[in-house]
Amino acid sequence: MIGEHSSKQYDHELETIRSKVLLMGGIVETQFLDAMTCFRIGNLERADRVIAEDDEVNQLEVALDDACSHLIVRRQPTANDLRTVMATIKVITDLERIGDEAAKIARTSKNLHGRGAVGVNHYEMVRTIATATSDMLHDALDAFARLDGKQALQLIAQDAVIDHEFRSIMRNLITFMMEDPRTISSALDTLWVAKAIERIGDHAKNIAEYVIYVVEGKDIRHSKQAHSIPDNPLP
């Protein structure tokens, strides 16, 4: 966070907020990975932990919004510092929603494994989208930590890949359900998990866009730039 101010105390306050956002990011990233483990092997205890961690994430959201408000009042940030605070206020919301989606995956995993999954190799169906999304989230948090606009810009194109994979999962699951209606409940659980993963991808994309807003000083949300980037969107 390179500001145009010169107060060490002010730098310290900005840095404290930033490190709390990164802490929150680390928690939701772990929540997501743990939730996917629950979905894969049905560890009910871990599922309950993912759901319980949501409280911690929610408390961090409220505390961080409060810290941003106080900073605005005390420091009256301008230019780059203000963009950082604005972006932080938005990123906090995305992180909290990622925590919500992870908790949903954990709850669905409990349902699925509690009932005994029938017919669908549920984890294999979502393996690709889960890996792509977990990488994207990790890279988005990394780009935020290092304020790396270039990395953030590359990430945005990944979201289209995730959306494409989601549609492919949906088509496959419809085929399964049609061939054997006994798979419908498990297939729907798998579909909700895929949808939650796809949402986490959306939130990771939002975070990347806010990084660009901080670094470049321009808002690329909803612009053509955000949707027409590399030739080869997956490495």
Site string for a second copy, 133-172 (x = CB under 8 A): -------------------------------------x--
Fill in the amino acid letter for 125: M
CA atoms in the 13 A half-sphere facing the CB of 131: 6
Task: Please give the angle made by the CA atoms of 224, 139 and 173, to the nearest 5 degrees.
Answer: 75
Closest CA to 135 of 87, 88, 194, 197: 197
Q: Which of 22, 33, 86, 161 binds a second copy (CB under 8 A)?
A: 86
Pick one of 16, 19, 69, 131: the residue that binds a second copy (CB under 8 A). Answer: 69
Stretch that binds a second copy, among 16-24, 65-73, 112-120, 144-152 (CB under 8 A): 65-73
**28-60 b/e (C-beta count within 10 Å ≥ 16 → b):** bbebbebbbbbbbebbeebbebbbebbeebeeb
194 to 233, contacts with a second copy by CB under 8 A? 195, 219, 221-222
Contact with a second copy (CB under 8 A) among 115, 178, 225, 228: 178
- Please name the residues in contact with 176: beta carbons below 8 A apart, sequence gap of 6 or more: 119, 120, 183, 187
Among 18, 46, 90, 138, binds a second copy (CB under 8 A): 90
Tell me how far apart the alpha carbons of residues 229 and 36 are, in angstroms, rounded to a whole number.
Answer: 29
Chain positions contacting a second copy, by CB under 8 A: 55, 58-59, 61-62, 65-66, 68-69, 72-73, 76-78, 82-83, 86, 89-90, 93, 170, 174, 177-178, 181, 184-185, 188, 191, 195, 219, 221-222
